[in-house]
Amino acid sequence: MSIDINNTLQAVPVVPLVQSDDPATAVLVSRALAAGGLTVAEVVFRTDRALECLQAVAEEVPEMIAGAGTVLTAEQADAAVDAGARFIVSPGLDDGVVATAKARGVPVYPGIVTPSEVQHAHNLGLDVVKFFPASIAGGVPALKALSSVFRHMRFMPTGGVSPGNLADFLAVPAVLACGGSWLTPADAIAKGDYEQITTLAKEAVEIARQARGEQK
């Protein structure tokens, strides 16, 4: 993991998901998130113009550490890095995606659920993995069980994380950060209500601050 992302996530352990089919909108969403204190975002590859959206955010929002999410293939990973992605996130664990990210010198966070997948990720040389879908894959109890066995691994739970359970996830010492789409609601984006996104980001930052503060 690169030092800048590591330090940023240690301080503000929340990674919002940016999903758009319009680069200009992706830029506005990313600026709104950064204004709320969240400066690491995952631009997900779930739309036809996702690559353009990623490139726009990478070029036009310098305060944002932009990564690519929902990366399924090595070819997508390569294209994402070419477009400016500073990290790669996948819903599952694929050797080709991991190898490409490593070859291109960017952090990669593949999705895992089972102990076998965590062990495989560990043996690929990774020390941080995405735990997805977190809420239906066992949530906090599952993370505690996995981290008790894989003591040197850290996790980024995503999927079903919300303001209501964010603090619970962040209270697990093995959790580096949490990902979430609740920070970029589709209805707010459709209305152009970017202030709501900034407000949600500020709320997440405060929840994270209190959750991490309680561990001290």
Catalytic residues: 42, 130
* Residue 4: C-alpha distances to residues 13, 98, 109 (Å): 13, 20, 16
> Which uninterrupted H or E stretch holds 95?
helix 95-104
Structural contact between residues 47 and 21, judged by C-beta atoms closer than 8 angstroms: yes
> Which uninterrupted H or E stretch holds 202?
helix 194-213
Nearest residue to 13 (alpha-carbon basis) of 216, 154, 196, 184:
154
> Which uninterrupted H or E stretch holds 179?
strand 178-180
Question: What's the burial of 83, exposed, middle or buried (CB within 10 Å: 0-12/13-18/19+)?
Answer: buried
Q: In what order do the strands lie in the sheet with 40-44?
A: 108-109, 88-89, 65-69, 40-44, 14-18, 178-180
* Residue 153: C-alpha distances to residues 94, 123, 134, 193, 216 (Å): 18, 11, 16, 38, 21
Question: What's the burial of 158, exposed, middle or buried (CB within 10 Å: 0-12/13-18/19+)?
Answer: buried
Structural contact between residues 143 and 175, judged by C-beta atoms closer than 8 angstroms: yes
